[in-house]
Amino acid sequence: MHLGRTTLSKFLIQQLNGIEGATDLGALLVDVAAAVKAISAMTAKGALGGYLGELGSKNIQGETQQKLDVLANDVMIRSCEWGGLVAGMASEELEEPYPVPVEYSRGRYLLVFDPLDGSSNTDVNVSVGTIFSVLRHDQSQPPAANDFLQPGRVQVAAGYAIYGPATMLVVTVGKGTHGFTLDREIGNFILTHPNLQIPIDTSEFAINTSNARFWEPPVHRYVTECQAGKTGDRERDFNMRWIASMVAEVHRILMRGGVFMYPRDTKDLGKPGRLRLLYEANPISFLIEQAGGRATTGQQRLLDVIPESLHQRVPLILGSYNEVARIERYHAEHANGVDRPYTSPLFNERSMFRPEARL
């Protein structure tokens, strides 16, 4: 019954064939998958596992840490530190990078991850996920924080796991985006969604509309037009979704198209967006581009953003190619002053909050 199915390991051996450093990269992705299986088992136990609830501490971002955030972080580190594959790791839950302990040999890759994305959803039994990005580290020295500050376009591999009704792992090594489903009985990830392709057009968008008063005018314009539906400029009705778990939104978009926006806003001027560049926006944008979609800050391709700090936040708009291109066009039109009806005083030409002044 299981004959002929493509497991993650078999897939990686085939995909990485001929690529320099392939054996190590494949082995690292298998270690990440092992961590994902353990995190999947913990999240699936729900209240029976004793892992739910807050830990009583805050992470470097000032966010309340859930017990599962810290457990998932430890699982990923333990799973990936021993094999001589990575030189260091960085995580949403750790202020500084984690150097590989001296008793293990140092590898040629850096692993950057969000151990449990959307973790405020664990207590309400809504899908959460793990996001990861693999970067190169070719120097002989142990990595410093600066070594992690590589633009998303140079990622070697990226992926996420979604802990939903089924646990899935979605991965790219720069040769398309591929989805695997965890067969819990035999403990293997099986290739179920090869070569995912995001439809280029969509009538579905996702944004937290409670922030509407803080949005940039181009985003206001886009959402207002979607809401106007058949009677407005777009001449068709749109649907909206918001799960508050980026991995779940991105997964829906990979399956059937759509747009996800966490744009730049004026809610907290110290934060030019909600999502973190290195371990949320970059890996997700790599997967989206590899599936034929588009990812942008509004002003530039997301994968071209040059990181300045480990936990840097960034505006993120991604999904179906044509819709994201339209939202980019609205940003350009706003910058050129040709979208007058939507200009908000907070973002006008003389304002200190003007997006281009804060880039």
Residues that bind Mn ion (CB under 5 A): 114, 117
Whole-angstrom distance, CA of residue 12 vs CA of residue 244? 31
Find, among 155, 150, 149, the residue nearest to 132 by Cα: 155
| Residue 118 in contact with ligand F6P, rule: CB under 6 A | yes
Two structure tokens written together for 61: 């971002």
Could you say which of ligand F6P, Mn ion, none residue 31 binds, taking C-beta under 5 to 8 angstroms by partner kind? none
Closest residue to ligand F6P, Cβ-based? 246
Two structure tokens written together for 1: 């019954």
Q: Which residues of 39-53 are buried (b: 16+ CB within 10 A; e: fewer)?
A: bbebbeeeeeeebbe
What is residue 207's three-state secondary structure?
A: coil
Find, among 167, 170, 163, the residue nearest to 196 by Cα: 170
* Shortest Å distance, C-beta 313 to ligand F6P: 10
Span of 33-41, 67-75, 105-113, 273-281 interacting with ligand F6P by CB under 6 A: 273-281
Q: What's the chain's length in residues?
A: 359
| Residue 238 · residue 203 · CB < 8 Å | yes
* Shortest Å distance, C-beta 232 to ligand F6P: 26
In this structure, the strands spanning 316-319 and 294-296 are antiparallel
CB closer to ligand F6P, 178 vs 276: 276
Span of 241-249, 282-290, 301-309, 321-329 interacting with ligand F6P by CB under 6 A: 241-249
* Shortest Å distance, C-beta 350 to ligand F6P: 29
CB closer to ligand F6P, 127 vs 167: 127
Number of residues that bind ligand F6P (CB under 6 A): 9
Span of 39-47, 148-156, 243-251, 316-324 interacting with ligand F6P by CB under 6 A: 243-251
* Shortest Å distance, C-beta 133 to Mn ion: 13
CB closer to Mn ion, 136 vs 241: 241
Find, among 135, 31, 36, the residue nearest to 81 by Cα: 31
Residues 188-217 that bind ligand F6P (CB under 6 A): 208
Residue located via tokens 């997301």: 302
Find, among 216, 182, 176, 221, the residue nearest to 196 by Cα: 176
Question: Cβ-count burial of 287 within 10 angstroms (0-12 exposed, 13-18 middle, 19+ buried)?
Answer: buried
Residues 274-313 that bind ligand F6P (CB under 6 A): 274-275, 280
CB closer to Mn ion, 31 vs 117: 117
CB closer to ligand F6P, 109 vs 160: 160
Q: Please state, in angstroms and as integers, the Cα–Cα distance from residue 112 to each residue in 96, 160, 161, 225, following that order.
A: 12, 12, 14, 37
| Residue 70 · residue 64 · CB < 8 Å | no
Using the rule CB under 6 A, which residue among 31, 93, 117, 265 binds ligand F6P? 117
Which helix (H) or strand (E) is 126 found in, with range?
Answer: none
Span of 18-26, 41-49, 238-246, 327-335 interacting with ligand F6P by CB under 6 A: 238-246
* Shortest Å distance, C-beta 128 to ligand F6P: 8
Using the rule CB under 6 A, which residue among 145, 154, 186, 244 binds ligand F6P? 244
What does the binding site for ligand F6P look like in residue numbers (CB under 6 A)? Answer: 117-118, 208, 244-246, 274-275, 280
